[in-house]
Amino acid sequence: MNLIKKLALAGCLTCAAFTSIAQKKYDVQSPDKKLKVQVTIADSIYYEVWKDGKAIISRSAIYFKTDQNTEGWKVNKVNQASNSGMLRPVIWQKSSTVEDNYNNLNLVFANQLSMEWRVFNNGLAWRWVSKINKPYHVTDEQATLNLGADAKAWYPQEEQFFSHNERKYIPYKVGEIDQQKLASLPALFESKGIKVLLTEASLFNYAGMWLRGDGNGTIRSTFPHYPKEKRYEGDRDEKVVSRENYIAKVNGAQDFPWRILMVEKEDKKLLNNQLPYLLGKPQATGSDFSWVKPGKVQWDWWHYNNVYDVPFRAGINNDTYKYYIDFAANNGIEYVLLDEGWCDTQDLNKQAKDIDVEELAKYAQRKNVDILLWTSWLVLDKQLDEALPRFEKWGIKGIKVDFMQRDDQDMVNYYEKVAKAAAKHHLMVDFHGAYKPTGWSRTYPNIMTSEGVLGNEISKFANTVTPEHTLTIPFIRMAAGPMDFTPGGMLNVQKGSFSAQPAEPMTLGTRCNQMAMYVMYESPLQMLCDIPTHYIKEPECMQFLKAVPTVWQRTVPLEGKVSEYAVIARQAKNGNWFIGGMTNWTARDMEVSLGFLPNGEYTMHVWKDGPNADRNAKDFQMQTIGVNKNSKINLKMSTGGGYVAIISKK
């Protein structure tokens, strides 16, 4: 070996030794020891993830930079701990209690930043924490997932940051996702047969995280930077014309959002994963939300107030809304929503000529029904301090705030401002034209639901809300939190019979498919979207819709495959169990065990697809049988079909 080769080899060995010494590795695993994360501190920070010994995320870089912290990642302190606890949500969603068990790793750096990791049995999360005690800008954050080019993705692709976030989940190989393919959250991936769902929680005073790919198997975060110049367009849109060179401006020490990776071997378990709630910021000590009341809502806008078989001219007027209120009172529906049209979209003080909200609120209260009001976010922002006290005085119980269409730091702060102000005046909130939920219902339990989903309203105009789509969103979008999909369409059709009818909309799939959404989809304020006239003509269906609650004591996923089928059982507060089953365009015969039932004998009332539902999607049958925990039931679902049942103790 010549001298040059010897020197080169010696140099390589020295570099390798130096690199080995410089790198520090820290392991943290789940309580059941089946999920492991290794964090490596070197020139940057990297992490890897193993599930049951299989590497599902290869070495992936993460990074956080402000204009105040110095370069380098010298670790000053390492803290490790475990937590075993139980949370009791003010407003139930999936359950009345949520186990909060995890192992924790906290790396404290010399640059006034620290990184906290939590590893649960069903996922992991990390967040950055700053102890910088003066104003600064966050100039960059990077979170990557090196999944490999052949990993699968269900990717909510977007055109731009200005968006309602109402997307289809496009199937890709991760290697097909390049820098041009922007996506919002949540997004789902599959690595080596393991589902990995990426979302975030505790998003306050910061920008929402979005995604792009590198075309080689790695997904990377990207963020809408802070708005520099904005422009109003029309009565509801505020668009960003130019942006600053930073993500967020911060006044001091702050905990930044959790980056969450749900990790599940079975698709169905995504239906019961509650990491966004567990990682949501706890509500303020001493705050009282005992006044918040979940319930069903009769909605108007989906059918443009097109009631019929009535002795008055239907429309945006008190006569029509009194009809809605009477219908709600007769069917145990807690709320009626006055959507767009009750007031001038640029002035909440100017009611429509045939509307008197205060009179309607009093009329409703006499019948044990309450009123919710829609508003554009823009006019509410201008009139917040005068409008909310007036709504409270009238007896209004909640607001639907619409058309935000952004999640830069400026807009994220608007959401919190509204939630706080609404709570002060005992008003619930439904965010529309909104980004995904981020565990905010733990922080502000008056935030009941939100859109950020391609929901039933699109059925007014197009045939894109298909059974494949409605069986994708419970595994992905709903994993982030409640979604205001607005189910309940009664004009049900198969794919060849659909046409867009905005004032009397159709829905794709069977009647029982729509009914099953009331069990499958979580929303503490759950809409009935259709014309009351239609419901009145369907008393058998109303038996179910009257009985189904909007919050649950316990949830048991029974079967599920993303975009194909799902069956779920949920227990109501009164102890009754509800089963909801849905299939895509493939008809299915499925056997399901009732082993989740306690001991005893039960009566099960069933609504199932009729024998002709493949031709006439409104066809359904009812059945009553006796069951117990040893029973196995057959769910025969038509193309685009569904199944619902109520199980009560004999």
Alpha-carbon distance of 40 to 342, in angstroms, equals 57
Catalytic residue among 116, 300, 339, 402: 402
Q: In the block, which residue shows the tokens 């306050």?
A: 204
Catalytic residue among 457, 484, 564, 609: 457
Read off φ and ψ for residue 429, nearest 5 degrees: -130, 135
Helix (H, G, I), strand (E, B) or coil at 585: coil
Give the bridge partners for 169, in sequence order: none
Q: Catalytic residue at 457?
A: yes
Contact assessment for residue 559 and residue 590, using Cβ atoms and an 8 Å cutoff: yes
Region of 357 please: left (phi>0), alpha (psi -120 to 50) or beta.
alpha
Cα–chain center distance at 577: 23
Helix (H, G, I), strand (E, B) or coil at 381: helix
Alpha-carbon distance of 64 to 195, in angstroms, equals 26
Q: Say if residue 482 is preceded by a cis peptide, omega within 30 of 0.
A: no
Contact assessment for residue 271 and residue 555, using Cβ atoms and an 8 Å cutoff: yes
Alpha-carbon distance of 461 to 489, in angstroms, equals 14
| Of 449, 486, 479, nearest in space to 465 by CA | 486
Q: In the block, which residue shows the tokens 């443009």?
A: 304
Read off φ and ψ for residue 172, nearest 5 degrees: -135, 160
3-state secondary structure labels for all residues of 299-318: CCHHHCCCCCCCCCCCCCCH
Alpha-carbon distance of 289 to 438, in angstroms, equals 19
Which residues lie closer than 8 Å to 10 by C-beta, 6 or more apart? none
Residues designated catalytic: 402, 457
